A and B are shown apart, each in its own frame.
Chain A
């Protein structure tokens, strides 16, 4: 088969694997799948799991990603699926140098998934499980109707974000969907299974959300290390330097590649043992807390004073806390009413989205849902029914 310039040569890949393993990375076997750009966009929309159930939300994500690509806002070089064997999708139009960088990057991601403790409880065969669940979802479509299944999935996705990532017991207050699943009175078996499935997916993805900066940083740090050792021609060095610069960007903390690389560079400067320990045990909050110093912030945001740096660090920690999601917990049920408490940390909830999200919970719960929150320092209580929300007197 005729291969374009960018195709992945087996011996090059073997060489990068050798170098990575020599450096201490321990990836599981990887299936590299070279795909066209259009498919890469689709894969991204499905979070890497192409076998997921059909849902319009993925279609919407797909359209938006395609649109962004049309406007050249983003380019996706690779996407790694956490599984064993891992699946790495590569863009089939990648140049030879892009593929070198991308495979080194991928190997480090896979190592991270394999070594970090947060991924130990995650099923290694998620793609296969998805294939097996498909018939059950089809049966639910027949019995409940396609529109009802679509709605159950949509509502469950809202609730599935409300999890305690460290404790999957339904009684843990942060596990709102698990509580509903366990305690709701009128859920049909089909609906219950749909909810279970969405909850499983959310649990699968959650550690990735909590380690986004650490993992992207780890992969970027290591592609940098490996490319420094790889014998590149002068022309290739230039292409690599451009690519790396595009990935890490010029300034700011919003880019997880940039922030993450800076953190790992600091961690390894502090000592190899510390860094390798952190790589197994720290998620984003831990990494920032442990390694982000005022000096490091000043490197990333030139011109920053010491006080500004400290407040920037605390804002960064807050932003990364709980994967950036508000902490909403079950208080209990009062009769038919499910009562939730928003643990307010100084940041208000988005009031535009709140009613819609609450109604989704009410539909799942099969009854009224109350939330106790605060807006601009004043207590606010909302009571949601499946299709209305009213404000209750404080």
Chain B
């Protein structure tokens, strides 16, 4: 019987290398793809993967079920790790959507149900947003711009940044609901 993530995490905490490897195998591709999406660089994405799993291995009790689903938590850790790495390296100028069709590889997506189910729909919903909304999500979520930086870059008052972000995300969510409903 295959073990669930929380069991595997608990075993990892006890020093079980095989458990960590199992988690690694399960999430390698997702974490790497997400890190690549965020950092746009192969080496930095690999560094991110390493840091994420290193945290799992060396830090005690960083996850508990109160923090929500393990996979969601792991992805949040990944995002924060990537943001830190992006900040450490020199930040690229305002990002533009870059497609990596040549590297697209759907095979291993099968393992993670959410990825398989939501990937296409999410990308479509994102693509349907206005350019400005895409940009603000890109900058905040994928590039980790601070509120002050967003205000500067987008030339909008600091106080309105949060509202814009929220609106963009909300818009996306509503498109998602529509997409899902339409399937």
To the question of whether A and B form a pair in one complex, the answer is: no
